Amino acid sequence: MKINCPFSVGDLVRFTPSTRTVGLYQDIGRFGLQPNDIVVVREIRSGMYLYFDGGKGGFPWNEFSLAKLREGDEIK
């Protein structure tokens, strides 16, 4: 069963990669994001992959947690 991306363009998300993902990419920072970075979603491709400013992105949405909605509501 495919779960749709819960994020929208403009949301701020925190990069919270799984232990498995960190293990696969020993130098994960070379992809432009460090764990706990907060970035603005600029594009969602194939309903799954998040992209950000500066060509960063291409990670599946499940490697992120919501930091702030685009409307400005804080997530607690």
The yes-or-no verdict on residue 73 having pLDDT over 60 is no
User: Taking a C-beta distance cutoff of 8 angstroms, is the pair 63, 18 a contact?
Assistant: yes
Rounded to a whole number, what is the largest CA-CA distance in the chain? Answer: 35
Q: Tokens representing 16? A: 């919270």
**pLDDT tens digits for range 1-42:** 667 899 999 999 999 988 888 777 767 777 788 889 999 999
Q: Please identify which residue in the block is written with the tokens 């960063």.
A: 56
Q: In the chain, where are the structural domains located?
A: 12-68
pTM of the model: 0.80
Specify the residue for token string 């994001």.
33
Tokens representing 7 are 């994020």
